[in-house]
Chain A
Amino acid sequence: MGKIFNVLMVGVGGQGIIMASDIFALAAMHSGKDVKKSEIHGMSQRGGSVFSHIRFGEKVYSPVISKGEADVLFSLEEMETLRWIEYANTETTIICLKTRINPGMVETYPPGIDEEIKRLSKKVFFLDPQPIIEKIENKKFLNVALIGLISGFVHFSDESWEKAIREKVPRGTFEGNWQAFLTGKNLHREEFQ
């Protein structure tokens, strides 16, 4: 059995994790891979913690990633990175968007989160969303730009990404989203190569 590549996307309800992970899974399929994606709908939509497991390779059995097995942990919120860190190992690439969302009833954001992530992993990259937003047409396309960034860690063809984005984004927004994707892809070159 060939190696399975595991991407765990995490964040908070309303951040658009579901659509972003849909695009990712679809691009994997369009590149000829077997793919599974798992998430939980329902209660979690009401502002709760949201996650999406994406697994692809030659033949994928389990839709869920085992603890310690994520190749990429992609987080849209700082605290959530730490909440799901058990799925990462020391070799996992962790990408954490510099965004803080207080849980309901919590007044002050817990201190020391970023330091703790850095202490646990030498392969963590913090991303400031603002410079990315400035480079793209609409801030709503941020997640697609981020998908472009993580596309650098996997080897799907541009056609697969293009097809997946076209199928998933709202009608009339493909061009803007595609530009955002390419912006993210270039950013990967600058940051990681």
Chain B
Amino acid sequence: MENRELLFGNHAIALGAYEAGVTVGTGYPGTPSSEILEFLTKYPGVYTEWSVNEKVAFEVGYGAAISGARVLITMKHVGLNVAADPLFTSSYTGIKGGLVIVNADDPNMHSSQNEQDNRHYAYAAKVPMLEPSDCQEAKDFTAYGFTLSETYDTPVILRTVTRLSHSLGVVIPNENPLRNRKIEGFTRDVSKYVMIPGHARKRHIIVEERMRKLEEDVNTSPLNRMEINDTDIGFISAGIAYTYVKEAFPTASVLKLGIVHPLPEKLIADFFKQVKEVYIVEELDPFLELQIKAMGFKTEGKKYYPLTGELSPDLVQRAFIDKSGITQKEAKTGLKTEISLPPRPPSLCPGCPHRQVFKILNKHNITVTGDIGCYTLGVLPPFSSMHTCVEMGGSIGHIQGIEIAEGENYKSNAVAVIGDSTFIHSGVAGLLNAAYNKRHSLIIVLDNSTTAMTGMQPNPLSGQRINGEEALQVDYRLLAQACGLEDDNIRIVDAYKPGALEDTILSLLKTKKLSLLVVQGLCIILKKRKTRTEKKNG
């Protein structure tokens, strides 16, 4: 038997990048994308970094790509919002070495604040998007993405979803990975890389020509595949949803799209010619459906199943159960209990350094603008101490807005709470804004020395790089001083000294001056892990 491996979806993506000769990987952690870069770090001859946020990750990756390296950039769906700015214009300049951006969507919001459908980004930024449906394809499509990127001189987005990123599947590795690819370095070409309006207008025309060529070529791409079986009924699907269709309707015809942008109109026309009734199955938005309807084909999709959450084989089966001529496997009935069980929501770990802060904030009935991380769990009982949470870094902006809107009525009984990694990601700019615009908010950084929620990635406040080597550890005090905060309003307190913590919070609120309070306590999971390692090493 060939050399088969059982790989995690995210591992397969990293392997695909390695096999395609990637030498640079950048990203910012975010479920379900975080493990990709961690796997990539383990391969020889690849530089990887956790960048401070997705925009910077994109820019560093882009710089390497226009110097001829093949580059993988990873982020979760909401991360692409942060990196959208460079995405849209890099589409104009094109690249030099292949550039693949892995975008991990999270239908059903297993660990996210929204379930936006990022296929729209490919459409809006005019870049091709690939969508694998299993781990083997995750590897193969990633590797193919670099060829596509270089052939058409464009960034390419690979879309994965939680259900694929966090599943295990059988993968056959490529025994001859492309390594030792020559990297030419950066060559000046201002009309291509400097997007002043005069250059950008010309590049936009090139982008449209590229998309027209792609629209033609995707009709014959091996990534788009027609599986003609029963010609009475057929489905057009892609990604993980394709596997649900195959499971629910094994005898139906299927047009499986591996490239979800741009769509292969001729191939779709051919499918409609061969199959009597065609339905679209896709998670989240009717992205394929609207475009295929706009092409003039008679079809339905979202009419039969939800716009929200994940699909599943049984959900797909139920959606089309009454369609004439459909052969489906026998559906079994699941057992149903009438007992309602208490939920088992995730909670802050016993011993978590963040617990004390939320207890104190709750005790004093303080309004808390919140942020993204483990500590968002402070919203749940028994703490019930978080009152806003929208996006990374948002807490520091929110509190300024509350203060401005309430004006003279502002009672100085509100704080912004943000984790260390989130603070570095996009909180620092908020702090600077508060200082510049004369706000007097109290900003509390919950510093557990790691990006815990996504699996303990280091950041510029933990003094380590992705590969474990020592690195810069930003000095909170100097940072706050540079923003003009007074010394007395910059405090660093031990998370496990609740008395001092409570006094500090109350006294800083009374000062009515912009304040930064850093609550330090190593993540309890990381602490246990370190103790174990130390024991092992004697």
Contact = CB atoms under 8 A, between A and B. Distances in A.
B73 to A, nearest CB: 21
B446 to A, nearest CB: 15
A62 B313 contact: yes
Given A47-B349, A86-B334, A35 B342 contact: no
Interface in A57-83: 61-64, 66-69, 79-80, 82-83
B335 A89 contact: yes
B294 interface: no
Given A39-B166, A40-B110, A110 B334 contact: no
A37 to B, nearest CB: 4
B246 A61 contact: yes
Nearest to B340: A110
A90 B333 CA distance: 9
A104 B345 contact: yes
Given A36-B134, A41-B31, A42-B453, A64 B312 contact: yes
Interface stretch (B167-175, B284-292, B512-520): B167-175
Contacts of A80: 344
Interface stretch (A25-33, A151-159, A183-191): A25-33
Contact of B166 (A35, A40, A43, A47): A40
- Which of B168, B341, B347 gathers the greatest number of chain A CB atoms within 10 Å? B168
A173 interface: no
Contacts of B413: none
A19 to B, nearest CB: 12
Interface stretch (B14-22, B374-382, B392-400): B374-382
A25 B335 contact: no
A34 B333 CA distance: 26
A176 interface: no
A85 interface: yes
B92 interface: no
Contacts of A68: 314, 331-335
A121 B335 contact: yes
B6 A48 contact: no
B341 A43 contact: no
Nearest to A70: B334
Contact of A82 (B341, B343, B374): B341
Interface residues of B, number: 53
A82 B337 contact: yes
Contacts of B32: 41-42
A2 to B, nearest CB: 11
A88 interface: yes
A36 B168 CA distance: 5
B344 A12 contact: yes
Interface in B331-387: 331-339, 341-349, 374, 377, 381-382
B167 A44 contact: no
Interface stretch (A112-120, A130-138, A141-149): A112-120
A88 B337 CA distance: 11
A1 B247 CA distance: 10
Contact of B335 (A43, A48, A63, A85): A85
A80 B343 CA distance: 10
Contacts of A26: 6
Interface in B449-487: 453-455
- Which of B167, B246, B338 gathers the greatest number of chain A CB atoms within 10 Å? B167
B63 interface: no
B254 to A, nearest CB: 11
B243 A63 contact: yes
A47 B167 contact: no
B334 A35 contact: no
Given A25-B6, A63-B164, A89-B334, 15 more contacts: A36-B134, A36-B135, A42-B111, A46-B347, A47-B349, A49-B344, A61-B244, A61-B247, A63-B134, A68-B331, A79-B341, A82-B339, A86-B336, A103-B345, A105-B382
25 contacts: A25-B168, A29-B6, A36-B167, A37-B168, A40-B111, A41-B111, A43-B110, A45-B346, A46-B347, A46-B348, A48-B344, A48-B347, A61-B134, A62-B246, A66-B247, A67-B312, A68-B332, A68-B334, A88-B335, A89-B332, A89-B334, A92-B335, A103-B342, A103-B345, A121-B335
Which A-B residue pairs are the 10 nearest by beta carbons? A42-B111, A68-B334, A46-B346, A68-B332, A66-B314, A86-B334, A37-B168, A61-B243, A67-B334, A48-B346
